[in-house]
Amino acid sequence: MVSNLITSEKQKGETLVNPFALEVIRFYGIPEGTFAYDVATYLINSEDDMELLHSLVVGHGLDGHKFALLAALNDLRMNRMPSISKDDFMSAFNEDPKQAIENLFQQHIKESYIQCMKEKGVTPERVFDYHTENPEFRFEWLVL
C-alpha cells in the first residue's frame, strides 16, 4: 500500500485521526463508529504499521475481504498487548484510568465506557482480571 493520503482530518469534530490511520480507513472502507475503526485509529501510527496490517490481511488469504481485515486488526491488537503486572496496571489506572485501560486493551476507550464502568461498580482489579482471562475480549463487553 503506497501512502498517498498524508493529510489529517477531524472526525465528528472530536478526534484528530492521524494520516496513516486515515489512509487505512479510506483504503479498506472502514465505517466510522465500528470496532475496526477504533482499532485502526489506535494501532496505525506509521507507514510501517500500514504495511504490517496489509501483509496480515494478505496473509489471511482473503485480500480485500472484510473478515481478513478484522482478523488482521485483531492479530495486530493481540501482538501489541503489553505484559503488565496487576500492580503496574493499578498504578497507571490511578494516574489516568482511560489511558491505562487503552494501553491494556490496545483500543480507544470512550469516556462513556469509563462512566458505565463506574456506574456498574466494575473495579480496576476486575478490569485487569477480565483482560488477563480473556485477552481477545474488548473492554466494552465488560462494562456495557
**Predicted confidence (pLDDT) at residue 107 exceeds the cutoff of 90:** no
- State the Cα–Cα distance between residues 6 and 90, nearest whole angstrom: 37
Closest CA to 114 of 128, 99, 104: 99
pLDDT, tens digit (0-9, with 9 covering 90-100), for 13-62 = 445 788 999 999 999 899 998 888 988 898 899 999 889 888 888 877 65
Question: pLDDT at position 4, please?
Answer: 35
Alpha-carbon dihedral of residues 16, 22, 28, 31, nearest 10 degrees?
Answer: 20
Give yes or no for a contact between 107 and 78, defined as CB atoms under 8 angstroms apart: no
Closest CA to 68 of 60, 79, 78, 77: 60
pTM over 0.75: no
Closest CA to 19 of 35, 32, 3, 33: 3
Give yes or no for a contact between 20 and 50, defined as CB atoms under 8 angstroms apart: yes
What is the residue extent of each domain of the chain? 9-80, 86-143
